[in-house]
C-alpha cells in the first residue's frame, strides 16, 4: 500500500522544481527533435534520473495524468499518495 502524505515541505519544493523543469524539458525535446530523435517526457526523465511516474514530485499522479491522487484528509489537510515507483523521492532508484 502506498503511504498517504501531505503535500508540504520537501514535496512542495520538489513539485515547484519539477514545474520549472518543464521549460528545460521543452528545450531538451526541441534539441532532440532537431537531432532526428523522437523524444518523450519519459526519455527526458530517464536521461536526468527523474521519476516519470510522478513528474519527479514524489507524489502519485491521477490515472489520467491530471493532478495528484488524493487518498484522504488529515483534518483540513489533504493527504496524497506517495509515488511507489520512486518511494516518494522523485528520482529513479534503479535506472535501467
Ligand atoms: Zn515517482
Question: Model confidence over 85-95: pLDDT tens digits?
Answer: 999 999 987 64
- What confidence score (pLDDT) does residue 21 get? 80
How many angstroms separate the alpha carbon of residue 93 from the centre of ligand 1?
A: 9
How many structural domains comprise the chain? 1
Q: Which domain holds residue 33?
A: 4-81
Domain membership of residue 18 (yes or no) is yes
How many angstroms separate the alpha carbon of residue 33 from the centre of ligand 1?
A: 26
Of the pLDDT bands very low, low, confident and very high (cuts 50, 70, 90), residue 82 is very high
Domain membership of residue 96 (yes or no) is no
At residue 81, φ and ψ (nearest 5 deg) are -80, 125
Q: Summarize pLDDT for 48-61 with one digit per residue, the tens.
A: 899 988 888 889 98
Domain membership of residue 64 (yes or no) is yes
How many angstroms separate the alpha carbon of residue 64 from the centre of ligand 1?
A: 15
Q: Alpha-carbon distance 66 to 27, whole Å?
A: 22
3-class secondary-structure state, position 42 = helix
Which residues in 16-92 belong to E strands, given as ranges?
70-74, 77-81
Domain membership of residue 42 (yes or no) is yes
Domain membership of residue 68 (yes or no) is yes
Domain membership of residue 89 (yes or no) is no
How many angstroms separate the alpha carbon of residue 23 from the centre of ligand 1?
A: 19
Whole-structure pTM value: 0.71
Domain membership of residue 88 (yes or no) is no
Domain membership of residue 60 (yes or no) is yes
How many angstroms separate the alpha carbon of residue 87 from the centre of ligand 1?
A: 7
Amino acid at each position: 500500500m502506498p503511504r498517504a502524505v501531505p503535500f508540504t515541505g520537501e514535496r512542495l519544493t520538489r513539485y515547484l522544481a519539477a514545474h520549472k523543469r518543464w521549460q528545460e524539458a521543452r528545450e531538451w525535446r526541441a534539441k532532440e527533435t532537431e537531432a532526428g530523435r523522437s523524444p518523450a517526457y519519459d526519455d527526458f526523465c530517464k536521461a536526468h534520473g527523474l521519476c516519470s511516474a510522478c513528474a519527479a514530485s514524489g507524489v502519485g499522479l491521477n490515472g489520467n495524468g491530471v493532478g495528484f491522487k488524493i487518498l484522504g484528509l488529515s483534518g483540513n489537510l489533504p493527504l496524497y499518495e506517495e509515488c511507489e515507483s520512486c518511494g516518494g523521492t522523485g528520482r529513479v532508484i534503479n535506472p535501467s
